[in-house]
Amino acid sequence: NAEFPKPERTRLIAVANQKGGVGKTTSTVNLSAALAQNGAQVLVIDMDPQGNASTALGISHASGEPSVYDVIEGRMSVAEVKRTCPDFPTLDVVPSSIDLSGAELELADMARRTDRLKDALETFLNGSDVHYDYVFIDCPPSLGLLVINAMCAVHEMLIPIQAEYYALEGLGQLINTIGLVQDHYNPSLTVSTMLVTMFDRRTLLSREVYAEVKGHYPSIVLDTTIPRTVKISEAPSFGKSVIAYDPHGAGAISYGEAALELARRSPHVLEAIDARMKER
């Protein structure tokens, strides 16, 4: 789709928020699917031991199957464990596994413990025949070593924010952690995108949350909001993104619009990352 500009180089994006249930996985899955549907080559890395992103993209992830756990532990390469989403030929997935729940502790004693994912991803992208336009990493709801690994492997953070009363609670802590990672490990790291999810246009609360987040982060928050819809919540149980499950519904349309906004911002975002790198 010519409407969707391709980024000049690979955009590496970690989707994080230490709160559970705010739409990290749903946004990772559906933004990736929407971008792939519109011609982008996309890689999703599922870093949550629950494996919900893998499930929603139709990829099995039973214990013992090759997964990101083997990549983190250095036993296998990204190329060896990646699979292709059955609904989108240009959408590849590195599945998670419940085995990954032990990695948080195991990582603590490993060499280059914060850079295990970064090292593996760099090796993969440098050696890959296919050029990836986007890499999304779906993070677990914590601020532990798995999330730090994701933050060290990317340049961009995408923070989903649920339109509800406690929306901004914990955001300060997340921004602090990102600041620490910037100072100690990854100077390029930038919060490039915030996406307000589960938005209900009929409620004042939703509109207030949007206005507040937009007021704090005017250039970061996408104009598009994601409505709360039944189709979005039931798609994963069919092993599908809502883009494949209900392509003409409100959920697919809004994730499509959010993906287009994300794509259109590429030149600006990549320039900002370059500027950060030069400052250091």
Q: Which residues bind ligand ADP (CB under 6 A)?
A: 20-26, 52, 141, 197-198, 226, 228-229, 232-233, 236
According to the binding rule CB under 5 A, does residue 197 interact with Mg ion?
Answer: no
3-state secondary structure 163-186: CCCCCCCCHHHHHHHHHHHHHHCC
Which of 101, 229 has the CB closer to ligand ADP? 229
Return the one option of Mg ion, ligand ADP, none that residue 228 interacts with (CB less than 5 to 8 A, by type).
Answer: ligand ADP
According to the binding rule CB under 5 A, does residue 24 interact with Mg ion?
Answer: yes
Sign of the four-CA dihedral 228, 230, 233, 239: negative
Which of 151, 273 has the CB closer to ligand ADP? 151
According to the binding rule CB under 5 A, does residue 25 interact with Mg ion?
Answer: yes
- Measure the CA–CA gap between 135 and 26, rounded to whole angstroms: 15
Closest by CA to 26, choosing from 197, 265, 200, is 197
Q: How many CB atoms lie within 10 A of CB 207?
A: 15
Which of 23, 256 has the CB closer to Mg ion? 23
What six digits make up the tokens of 136?
A: 């999304």
Q: CB of 80 within 8 A of CB of 66? A: yes
Which of 128, 229 has the CB closer to ligand ADP? 229
Return the one option of ligand ADP, Mg ion, none that residue 21 interacts with (CB less than 5 to 8 A, by type).
Answer: ligand ADP
Return the one option of Mg ion, ligand ADP, none that residue 5 interacts with (CB less than 5 to 8 A, by type).
Answer: none
CA 170, distance to chain mean position in Å, is 19
- Measure the CA–CA gap between 57 and 52, rounded to whole angstroms: 9
What six digits make up the tokens of 248?
A: 């003409």
Residues 41-60 contacting Mg ion, CB under 5 A: 52
3-state secondary structure 239-271: CCCHHHHCCCCHHHHHHHHHHHHHHHCHHHHHH
What mask of x and - would describe binding to Mg ion in positions 106 to 145, judged by CB under 5 A? ----------------------------------------
Stretch that binds Mg ion, among 17-25, 80-88, 155-163, 215-223 (CB under 5 A): 17-25
Question: Closest separation between CB of residue 44 and ligand ADP, Å?
Answer: 13
Q: CB of 184 within 8 A of CB of 41? A: no
Which of 16, 244 has the CB closer to Mg ion? 16
Return the one option of Mg ion, ligand ADP, none that residue 20 interacts with (CB less than 5 to 8 A, by type).
Answer: ligand ADP
Which of 145, 232 has the CB closer to ligand ADP? 232
Question: Closest separation between CB of residue 141 and Mg ion, Å?
Answer: 7
Return the one option of Mg ion, ligand ADP, none that residue 58 interacts with (CB less than 5 to 8 A, by type).
Answer: none
Closest by CA to 15, choosing from 186, 191, 212, is 191
Q: Which residues bind to Mg ion, rule: CB under 5 A?
A: 24-25, 52
